[in-house]
Structure 1
Amino acid sequence: MMNHLIALPILLPLVTGLGLLLNRDGAAVPRRVVGLSATAALLVVCALLMIQSSSGTIQYYALGDWQPPFGIILVLDRLSALMVTLTALLALGSLCYASAGVDVEGSNFHGLFQLQLMGINGAFLTGDLFNLFVFFEVLLIASYSLLMHGGGKARIHSGFHYVVLNLAGSALFLIGLGVLYGTLGTLNMADMAAKVPGLDSSRLVLAEAGAMLLLVVFGLKSAILPLYFWLPRAYASAPAPVAALFAILTKVGIYAILRVFTLIFGPQAGSLANIAQPWVWWLSLATLALGGIGVLAARDLRTQVAYLIIISVGTLLAGIGMNSLGSHSALLFYMVHTTLVTGGLFLLADTIAHQRGKAGARIVRGRAVEQVALLGTLFFVGALTVAGVPPFSGAVGKALILQSATPGQQVWLWPILLLSSLAAIVALSRTGSTLFWRVSGGGSRERSDKDIHEAGPLRTAGLMLLLGASPLLVAFAGPLSEYTDATADQLADHEAYIQAIIERDKTGGGS
Structure 2
Amino acid sequence: MSHLAIIPLLLPLFTGIFLLLLREQRIYIKRTISGLSSIALIAVSTQLLCAVSDGNILVYSLSNWPAPFGIVLMADRLAALMVLTTSLLALFSLIYAMSGTDRQGRQFHILFQLQLFGLNGAFLTADLFNLFVFFEVLLLASYSLLLHGGGRKRIRSGLHFVVINVVGSSLFLFAVGILYGILGTLNMADLAVKVAHVSPENIGLVKTAGLLLFVVFALKAALLPLYLWLPTAYSQTSAPAAALFAIMTKVGAYSILRVYSLIFGNEAGPLANLLDGWLLGMALTTIIIGSFGLLGSKRLRQQVAYLVVISAGTLLTGFSLNSQAGIAAGLYYLPHTTFATAALFLLADLIVQRRDQMEDKLEAGLVITKQKFLGVMFFVLAIIASGLPPLSGFLGKFMLLRAALEHPALPYIMAIVLVNGLLTVIAMARTGALFFFAAHAVDTATNTYIKQSEPEPLKVRELLPILSLLGLCVLMTLWAGPINSYSLETANQLLDTPAYIDAVLGKEAQ
Scaled by the length of structure 2, what TM-score is found?
0.96
- The alignment status of 1:482 with 2:510, answered yes or no, reads no
Per the alignment, residue 447 of structure 2 pairs with none
Q: Kindly provide the amino acid, as one letter, of the partner of residue 421 in structure 2.
A: S
Match of 2:446 in 1: none
Alignment of 1:311 onto 2:310: yes
Q: Aligned-pair distance for 1:505? A: 8.5
Q: CA deviation at 1:448?
A: 5.4
* Alignment CA distance shift 1:273-1:63 (3 Å): same
After superposition, give the CA deviation of every residue in 1:336-377 in whole Å (9 maximum; x if it has no partner): 100010011000000111011111111111223265222111
Contact 1:277 1:320 in 2 (8 A): no
SS at match of 1:228: coil
- Tell whether the 8 Å contact from 1:322 to 1:409 is kept in structure 2 after alignment: no
Q: Which residue of 1 aligns with 2:352?
A: 353
Q: How many residues get paired?
A: 502
Whole-angstrom distance in 1 between the partners of 2:473 and 2:162: 33
Measure how far apart 1:394 and its partner are: 0.1
Q: Deviations over 1:63-103 (max 9, x none)?
A: 11111011111101000000000000000110010001000
SS of aligned partner of 2:196: helix
Deviation, structure 1 residue 446: 4.8
How big is each residue's C-alpha offset from its partner over 1:416-461, in whole Å with a ceiling of 9 and x where there is no partner? 111111110000000000000111218xx95557xx4433111111
> Does 2:101 match 1:98?
no
* Contact map agreement 2:369 2:436 (CA 8 A) in 1: no
2:237 counterpart letter in structure 1: A
User: After TM superposition, where is structure 1 displaced by more than 4 Å over at least 4 residues in a row?
Assistant: 445-449
1:49 alignment partner in structure 2: 48
Instruction: Check conservation: 2:308, 2:341, Cα contact below 8 A.
Output: yes
User: Does the residue aligned with 2:6 lie in a helix, a strand or coil?
Assistant: helix
SS in structure 1 at match of 2:390: coil
Give the AA of the match of 2:503.
A
User: Paired residue for 2:499, among 496, 500, 506?
Assistant: 496
Q: Is 2:203 aligned against 1:204? A: yes
Q: Report deviation, 1:333.
A: 0.1
Report the TM-score, using the length of structure 1 for normalisation: 0.96
Among all aligned residue pairs of Structure 1 and Structure 2, give the percentage whose two residues are the same amino acid: 48
Q: Cα offset for 1:276?
A: 1.2
Determine the structure 1 residue equivalent to 2:12.
Answer: 13
Q: Secondary structure at the match of 2:409?
A: helix
Q: Does 1:65 align with 2:64?
A: yes
Equivalent residues in 2 for 1:112-511, closer than 5 Å = 112-369=111-368, 372-405=371-404, 406-441=406-441, 446=451, 452-503=455-506
SS state of the match for residue 506, structure 2? helix
Tell me by how many angstroms 1:107 deviates: 2.4
Output the CA distance in 2 between the equivalents of 1:354 and 1:427.
Answer: 22
Which ranges of structure 2 fall in alignment gaps of 5 or more residues? Answer: 443-449
Note if contact 1:355-1:454 (Cα within 8 Å) is conserved in structure 2. Answer: no
For residues 476 and 508 of structure 2, the distance between their equivalents in structure 1, rounded to whole angstroms, comes to: 38
C-alpha displacement of 1:23: 1.5
C-alpha distance after superposition, 1:29-62 (max 9, x if no partner): 1111111110011011001100111010111111
Deviation by residue 1:151-177 (Cα, 9 ceiling, x = unmatched): 011100000000000000000001100
Please report how far the alpha carbon of residue 321 of structure 1 lies from its aligned counterpart in structure 2 after TM superposition.
1.5
Do 1:67 and 1:505's aligned partners in 2 also have CA atoms closer than 8 Å?
no
Structure 2: distance between partners of 1:503 and 1:5: 20
Report the Cα distance in structure 1 between the residues aligned to 2:466 and 2:496, rounded to whole angstroms. Answer: 38
Q: Distance in 2 between matches of 1:47 and 1:447?
A: 47
Q: Which amino acid aligns with 2:163?
A: V
Letter in 2 for 1:47: T
Q: Which has the higher contact order (CA 8 A, sep 6+)?
A: 1
Residues 479-504 of structure 1: per-residue CA shift (max 9 Å, x gap): 10010000000000000000011116
Aligned-pair distance for 1:319?
1.1
Whole-angstrom CA distance in 2 between matches of 1:397 and 1:349: 24
Asked if the contact 2:304–2:345 (Cα under 8 Å) also holds between the matched residues in 1, the reply is: yes
